[in-house]
Structure 1
Amino acid sequence: MFALTSAVGLIGLAAFALHSDDIATRHQTDNDLKLQTAEAMTGLDYDEDGQLDVRGLLDFMETDCPPLTVFSAHAGDLKAVHTPRRPCIRARMTDVRAIAATAVRRGDSAMSDAHAENGHPLRLLATPFTGPDGDTMGGAIVTAADTSADQKSHRELTLLLATGCAVLLSLSAVAGHLISGRAIRPALNALQQQEGFLADAAHDLRTPAASLRLLAETALRDDTSRTTALERTVRLATRMGDLIDGLLTRARLTAGVAPLAREPLRLDQLVEAVVDETPADGHRITVDAEPVVVDADPDLLRRAVTNLFVNALTHGHAADRPAEIELGVTTGGVLTVDDAGPGIPPDLADSLFDRFHSGSGSTGLGLSIAFRVAQAHGGTLTATGSPLGGARFTLRLPTHNK
């Protein structure tokens, strides 16, 4: 639309400029011809017998260039009284006589376009003059101008405007594409984020919703299993609440609208608090933390650390063995979480921090949220092999500068 609007405007302006140039050139040519015939008119006279005398015209004015042809009117017929001997422009006599007859008949100047004997375009002007009595038309003077140079200039101007319009339209199309793309990019990003959020929600809420319905139907049909069904319903509802909360957090972080309440905090103390508050269930947990102060949002950072720790508890051990997990905090704002589990599968190495890449028993959003939290704080989250034989997750955050 931007290019089309520009095209309409440019073509309209170009057409107006060409039309104006054509009219101005034609008017200039007509004015020059009128001046020539008006000057020639002063050299005409009549003798005592009422015959047209052109000697005064020949005495003071050149009639070959521009070519001047003088016609005398007698009884409705035109007779050429004077024709140029060596005209610089050789107009066809039929065209010259025709326009002279038109001027005499109308009693006013007549103009027309014609062609010379060599094919060049001409502009003809015939100006009538009165007879000896001063009432009737005595004849007409015809002059001609070669307009081939004017038409050549007009064609050059047309080519120049066409080329300029093509260049400007190309630039307009490119600029319109870039501007419209930049203008619509935020809307597309918002739409993609909305679609991603809906896909996230539909992906992981479908199964819990079906399970809730099945548990409710079971409780209605069987009174003996109602208590067990209600307990499972509560656990499932809690899991769904955690999932929805995770979805909203990730969506806000992805969209960049989650406000970061940055403040100096002790990363080592936060890690120790997360470990103390999370049920270990017999797993062997080791924390080696140096005092480190980072600039971070306490709630978001706690969520990221909790997700990394819970991921190690869930996937960092075999099914029949307790987990062995080591958490380390070192200077430079670095947190490492090591486990002795099966490690990172090769097929998940490139998509480990994408949503819904998890094992059973989790929402599949923990690592994705931790990764987004690290990005929001200007840090990084990477996954490598662990000296314990499993996976090592390394979270790096900017430290606090006093």
Structure 2
Amino acid sequence: MKALLHRLRKAPRRTPAENRARRLRWRLTALYALTSAIGLVALAAFAVHNDDVSRRHQTDDALKLQATQTIAELAYDDNGQLDTRNLPDFVDTSCPPVTVLSGTGDSLRTVYTPRQPCVHVRDADIRAAAHAAVSDDSVAKTDARTDNGHPLRLLAQVFTGPDDKGTGGAVVVATDTTTDQDAHRDLTLLLTAGCAVALALSALAGHLLSGRAIRPTVTAVHQHEAFLADAAHDLRTPAASLRLLAETALRDDAARTEALKRTVSLATRMGDLVDGLLTRARLTAGVTTLATEPLRLDQLVEAVVDDTHTGENVITLRTEPTVVNADPDLLRRAVTNLLANALTHGHAPGQPAEIELTVTHDGTLTVDDAGPGVPPHLADSLFQRFRSGSDSTGTGLGLSITAWIARAHDGSLTVTTSARGGARFTLTLPAKRRP
């Protein structure tokens, strides 16, 4: 429990912009799920309705066929009386049960019922169906129930009287639709369960897709927040120092010259800091395009050393002709950062720096210094932002930017212990093969 609480305390808080992006993701998920739900429900409702109508039509067609066959076997005797004695010999009137009623209106009377019907239909329901058919002189269809609650479907069809004149009565056919209704209910439940599963999968897919859709936004928010944090972290102290130097120059004429010199130096450092912040932000956002071209790594390192003010520091340069495919501006910045880091941290306090740069033909640049070195437990985190060594003279971005440049060129930047006792930074780039 304590470990869980510790992790919760250590978890970074989300920014308002990130929370808005995540709320947008849930809204997109809900919209996707709602759209899918409307489509699924509409399709399911159509399927259920179509199944119900299809089953009813199928049942009605079967009942009508039975009624037609029964009417075809009806006959009248010489006295005009309806004769149904031979009806069971030609038509199965027990299942579905067939009832023949003669007459019209209130004079309807039952003249034939099956001896052993498979379904027991109430006489009132039979007479109601027959009366509806005779009144409209057409086919009547109705639903009813047995005494034990089973659903029934009834169809009544009129037949003509003697000599095919007038209406002679109606034939009522009934069937138990329990099986059909059970099958329809099973289909409804199956479609409901299927819609629920499909909706859950759709919501999950929508959540994943919306997550992928807003991922660039969340990444941009993180990059924006990181840039602001970098700027606030590294510009706060130099800005305060500039203000202090300006106030000193205003109130103390004797110290004005020294204050202005320090102001110029600090302004130069702030310019380098802003340039480094922008470079790292562009690299992180992926908006900096690598303009790679074949170049001599050894010549570029020599040019960087020549352009660097070394003072009393001692720089030893050993190079071999080496050609790499790289962006000249970015690679120059990487080499400059490594050299500046060695000049700043690669010596004991009050002593000049002794630095050795080595370029080999396999595209490797090593920078050795005689400083305090890098503790092993800090080696992995040294290339993160705000890691600037033991003092506060660095911006904390130089090595981070150099590591980004190395990875952008499919290379690497590592730190180990130098033979001089200090740190050895190794920048490795893919070298172009010699012809």
Q: TM-score, normalised by structure 1?
A: 0.90
Instruction: For residue 50 of structure 1, report the CA deviation from its aligned partner.
Output: 5.3
Match of 2:99 in 1: 69
Q: Deviations over 1:293-315 (max 9, x none)?
A: 22212221111111111111111
List runs of 5+ in structure 2 lacking aligned partners: 1-30
Q: Secondary structure at the match of 1:63?
A: coil
SS in 2 for 1:303: helix
Aligned to 1:390: 422
Q: Is the 8 A contact 1:123 1:145 kept in 2?
A: yes
**Structure 2 residue corresponding to 1:155, chosen from 185, 200, 204:** 185
Native 8 Å contact 2:416 2:425 kept in 1: yes
Residue of structure 2 in register with 1:109 after alignment: 139
- The answer as to 2:287 corresponding to 1:257 is yes
- 1:274-293 per-position Cα deviation (integer Å, ceiling 9, x unaligned): 22221222122222222222
Q: Deviations over 1:169-200 (max 9, x none)?
A: 34433433333333322222222222211221
1:54 aligns with 2:74: no
Following the alignment from structure 2 to structure 1, what is the Cα–Cα distance between the partners of residues 420 and 283?
32
Per the alignment, in what secondary structure is the counterpart of residue 335 of structure 1? Answer: strand
Residues 74 and 356 of structure 1: is their aligned pair in 2 closer, same or farther, counting only changes over 3 Å? closer
* Range moving further from structure 2, 156-165 or 291-300: 156-165
Alignment of 1:132-281 (within 5 A): 138-281=168-311
**How many residues get paired?**
402
C-alpha spacing 1:361/1:289, structure 2 compared with 1 (3 Å): same
Structure 2 equivalent of residue 376 of structure 1: 408
C-alpha separation between the residues in 2 aligned to 1:269 and 1:380? 20
Q: Provide the C-alpha distance between the structure 2 equivalents of 1:228 and 1:137, rounded to a whole number of angstroms.
A: 127
Please state if 1:400 is matched with 2:404.
no
For residues 75 and 2 of structure 1, the distance between their equivalents in structure 2, rounded to whole angstroms, comes to 60
* Structure 1 SS opposite 2:175: strand
Mean Cα deviation higher: 99-108 or 12-21: 99-108
Quick check: 1:336–1:395 contact (8 Å CA) kept in 2?
A: yes
Q: Is the 8 A contact 2:413 2:426 kept in 1?
A: yes
Which of the numbers 399, 415, 418 marks the counterpart of 1:367? 399
Contact 1:266 1:292 in 2 (8 A): yes
Q: Distance in 2 between matches of 1:291 and 1:386?
A: 23
On the 8 A contact 1:43/1:55 being kept in 2, the answer is no
3-state DSSP of counterpart to 1:398: coil
Look up the SS of the partner of 1:70 in the other structure: strand
Tell me the SS of whatever aligns to 2:116.
Answer: coil
Matched, 1:336 2:366: yes
Give the structure-2-normalised TM-score: 0.83
Task: Please state whether the residue corresponding to 1:85 is helix, strand or coil.
Answer: coil
Larger deviation, residues 248-257 vs 205-214: 205-214
2:317 corresponding residue in structure 1: 287
**Equivalence for 2:27:** none
Structure 2 residue matching 1:81: 3-state secondary structure: strand
Distance 2:354 2:259 in 1: 34
1:5 — aligned with what?
35
**What's the counterpart of residue 350 of structure 2?**
320
Deviation at 1:231, TM superposition (A): 2.8
SS in 1 for 2:173: strand
- 3-state SS of 2:240 partner: helix
The amino acid that maps onto 2:129 is I
Query: Which stretch shifts more, 228-237 or 317-326?
Result: 228-237
Displacement after TM superposition at 1:271 (Å) = 1.9
Deviation at 1:262, TM superposition (A): 1.7
| CA deviation profile, 1:37-95 (whole Å, cap 9, x unmatched) | 23323444555655443346456433223311112347725422111012232223333
Change in 2 beyond 3 A, CA 1:74/1:251? closer
> Aligned pair 1:311/2:341, yes or no?
yes
Return the offset for 1:259.
2.1
Look up the equivalent residue of 2:346 and give its one-letter code: G
Q: Work out which of the residue numbers 152, 156, 175 in structure 2 matches 1:122.
A: 152
Aligned-partner residue type, residue 399 of structure 2: L
Structure 1 residue ranges without an equivalent (≥5): none
Task: Between 322-331 and 181-190, report the one with greater CA deviation.
Answer: 181-190
Shift of 1:131: 5.6
Q: Percent identity?
A: 66
Q: Equivalents in 1 of 2:346, 2:256: separation in Å? A: 35
Instruction: Map 1:346-365 to 2 at 5 A.
Output: 346=376, 348-358=378-388, 359-365=391-397
2:337–2:398 CA contact under 8 A, matched in 1: yes
Q: Is the 2:317–2:356 contact (alpha carbons within 8 Å) kept by the matching residues of 1?
A: yes
Q: Secondary structure at the match of 1:30?
A: helix
**Counterparts of 2:54 and 2:169 in 1: how far apart (Å)?**
30
Which stretch shifts more, 266-275 or 362-371?
Answer: 266-275
Contact 2:101 2:109 (8 Å CA) reproduced: yes
Specify the SS of the correspondent of 1:337.
Answer: strand
The answer to which of 130-139 and 197-206 deviates more is 130-139
> What is the RMSD of the two structures over their aligned residues, measured on CA atoms?
2.7
Which moved further from structure 2: 38-47 or 125-134?
125-134
Q: Aligned partners of 2:361 and 2:105: how far apart in 1?
A: 121
Q: 2-side partners of 1:194 and 1:253: how far apart?
A: 13
C-alpha distance in 2 between matches for 1:92 and 1:229: 114
